[in-house]
Amino acid sequence: MNWTKPQEDFAIVLLNYNGKNWLELFLSDLIQNSPPQSVYLIDNGSQDDSINYATLLLDSDNIIHLDYNLGFAGGYNKGLQFINKKYFCLLNTDVLVKKDWFQGCLQLLSENDTIGAVQPKILDYYDQKKFEYAGAAGGTLSVIKIPGARGRNIFNCDIDSGQYNEIAEIDWASGCALFIRKDDFYRIGGFDEVFFAHQEEIDLCLRLKQWGKRILYCPDSQVYHAGGGTLKKSSSKKTYLNFRNNLLMIAKNTHTISFILLLLIRLPLDGLLAIYLGFKNGISHFFAVIRAHFTFYALLPYAYKRKHEFLQLLKNKF
């Protein structure tokens, strides 16, 4: 395959918020191991010295300045508009890449229009023989729509022994390293900005699938994710966003009757999880789950409005 055209149309896009420490660790390697002039930085109104550091390594045209923190969803929605490329890799700043890391995913995406998004194999930066939690070997959804990933369970991640070395169709691709066409991203409405951060990529992938696109995992591409670049796993805000956004994702992408049945299951289950997290991580996590539910109920009219808007978009497509 002639790689000139896809690589010329390819942008690797970092979203940064007060992440100078991660840029110092990983930006130089990313630039060295990526196509020339393909790395862009969207800055979400950082107050540290991120921008000054980034300008040492990137052309000013490759740095997009936003006035304030719009979150993962809003930051990408606004910032990507300024990048005139056909293919994007939305890449976390806390990711190490090595030679040829992008080629497998980009090849899949550029050669087949039925593919909506691709994610690479995501390994742990601190233990590079193991998968990393944020996507591992491709996202899954349980019967009750709880996100998981191949190569991880609730408590830990598996060692990569080659068990996921085949291209596979998955339920969702991780926002840690998400390959997608610009046209597809905006055609289905981009990220839902109400999510702010966490699980917005799952919502996006479910809409891509309804649009008739496939989501793939590509083991020929690998990245090494440190994790916790913005919100630590111990953060009660992370707990709040994960529970609230999971319910929003279900409401927006599930038939009404199915959603009601799922909610009846999730209410007692989430109550038990709130108690467990309260004992394990502190009382703030218990209240984070409770607050997530009440905030979600207030957002139900919004979720249904967005759902019906997308269904109308699908109807007009066909």
Give 45-54 pLDDT, tens digit per residue: 999 999 999 9
Backbone angles phi, psi at 145, to 5 degrees: 65, 30
**Model pLDDT, residue 1:** 46
pLDDT over threshold 90, residue 174 = yes
Apex 137 CA angle, 175 and 180, nearest 5: 35
pLDDT for 281-314, tens place per residue? 999 999 999 999 999 999 999 999 999 999 999 9
DSSP β-ladder status, 139-141 and 147-149: antiparallel
Buried b (16+ CB within 10 A) or exposed e, 119-133: bbbbbbbeeeebbbb
| The model's pTM | 0.94
| Helix locations, the chain, DSSP H | 4-8, 20-32, 50-54, 71-79, 103-111, 182-187, 200-210, 236-253, 256-281, 283-317
SS3 59: coil
Say what the pLDDT of residue 16 is: 97
Angle separating helix axes 200-210 and 283-317, nearest 10 degrees:
20
* Mean local confidence (pLDDT), 140-167: 94
Number of residues that make up the chain: 318
